[in-house]
A and B are shown apart, each in its own frame.
Chain A
């Protein structure tokens, strides 16, 4: 493990800076204006940039690089700002930005249908529902439970140790892939549904449809049933008007 630490100094520095910026931004005991938010965002952003720089990988062409930087750092920074927001409306809007950045990352990985579906479902439906619920369940002013975070130091430390462990696991072993000819480097799976299809490569929508409705048709039907059950459950659980005003 020590050689990984020496080989990737930027990873650890980036993680430490990122964690420090996140802790700076968390709602704390002394919410005085002396704790400037800009400093926290700057700290987190620098940490994120350093961390992404240390990720390595082959340098693809310039457009892909810029797109990855914009969407990757944007997603993580929006996540940081979302979990440290004091106002739940701001948190929902930062979550919308994180969703859009994740869609961009989907587009970079040749999943255009997934990007469109995520935008429609998440940014279109789920976030709007969140905003409606926030509107219905809001307090008159800033609530007391939004002012302080629950053990932020412990949680951030533990979570970043976990992230460092994941980074160590991924970076210490090469990520092995199946090349285009389908001859696997030892990772051929015994699953008959999970074979490489030359006629429908990964970005092909027809291939996705064939896989979804051909191999996993039962799961699709189950997902439809789950949606129906969730719809009925949401109608049954939500309080009605004659039970008293919200």
Chain B
């Protein structure tokens, strides 16, 4: 049972190598992300094999963390792919290989006007403690004058 750990280790190494080849040879953004996920599969297999070899639970526990990080990475990578696709309408990664091309317009800095919150000019001040004023509440806060105190 323990002796055939070599085969699992080498299958994991093979998956990792295949993912590396796919990442380096393809130009499609989605294929590159898929190849990175394949590399993570290989590493998970190696982790589980070593965990079984040393008979601790750490291999499987760390693989769960790898799974979590892979899911986060896939989500973020795919939203990045969508954002990049929106700009060039292509999934080619070579379009982004040079920074500052002459024919592509520079990306504008996101300068949306962030509205300042209004209505806070008349911050109500605390009226001094005492007898309540007789007049009804107005839009402007009551100014603490001596006349309001009886």
Q: Which residues of A contact B (CB under 8 A)?
A: 22, 26, 51-52, 55-58, 60, 68, 72, 75-76, 79-80, 82-83, 85, 88, 91-92, 95, 98-99, 102, 105-106, 108-111, 113-114, 117-118, 121-122, 125-126, 129-130, 133-134, 136-137, 139, 143-146, 148-152, 155-156, 159-160, 162-163, 166-167, 170-171, 175, 177-180, 182, 187, 189, 193-197, 200-202, 207-208, 210-212, 215-216, 219, 223, 226-227, 229-231, 233-235, 237-239, 243-244, 246
The 9 A-B pairs of least Cβ separation, nearest first, read A83-B22, A230-B72, A57-B4, A58-B3, A211-B57, A79-B18, A238-B79, A145-B27, A145-B92
- Distance of A3 Cα from B17 Cα, bound (Å): 24
Whether a CB of chain A sits under 8 angstroms from the CB of B123 is no
A219 touches B65 (CB 8 A): yes
A234 touches B60 (CB 8 A): no
Whether a CB of chain A sits under 8 angstroms from the CB of B26 is yes
Given contacts A80-B18, A133-B82, A145-B28, contact A170 B9 (CB under 8 A): yes
Cβ contacts under 8 Å, B145 to chain A:
none
- Distance of A156 Cα from B24 Cα, bound (Å): 9
Cβ contacts under 8 Å, A82 to chain B:
18, 22, 34-35, 38
Cβ contacts under 8 Å, A85 to chain B:
31
A134 touches B45 (CB 8 A): no
Main secondary structure of the interface of B (DSSP, over half): helix
- Distance of A159 Cα from B24 Cα, bound (Å): 10
B85 touches A137 (CB 8 A): yes
Q: List 10 A-B contacts (CB under 8 A).
A: A80-B18, A98-B41, A122-B37, A125-B71, A129-B74, A162-B17, A177-B53, A178-B55, A211-B57, A234-B76
Q: Which residues of B contact A (CB under 8 A)?
A: 1-11, 13-15, 17-22, 24-28, 30-31, 33-35, 37-38, 41, 44-45, 48-49, 51-61, 63-65, 67-76, 78-83, 85-86, 90-94
B92 touches A102 (CB 8 A): no
A246 touches B72 (CB 8 A): no
B30 touches A134 (CB 8 A): yes
B21 touches A22 (CB 8 A): yes
Given contacts A55-B7, A102-B44, A177-B2, contact A83 B75 (CB under 8 A): no
Q: Kindly provide the distance from the CB of A101 to the nearest chain B CB, expressed in whole angstroms.
A: 9
Cβ contacts under 8 Å, A88 to chain B:
28, 30-31, 34, 91
Chain A residue at smallest Cβ distance from B63: A114
Given contacts A72-B7, A83-B22, A109-B8, contact A223 B68 (CB under 8 A): yes
Cβ contacts under 8 Å, B94 to chain A:
145
A234 touches B61 (CB 8 A): no
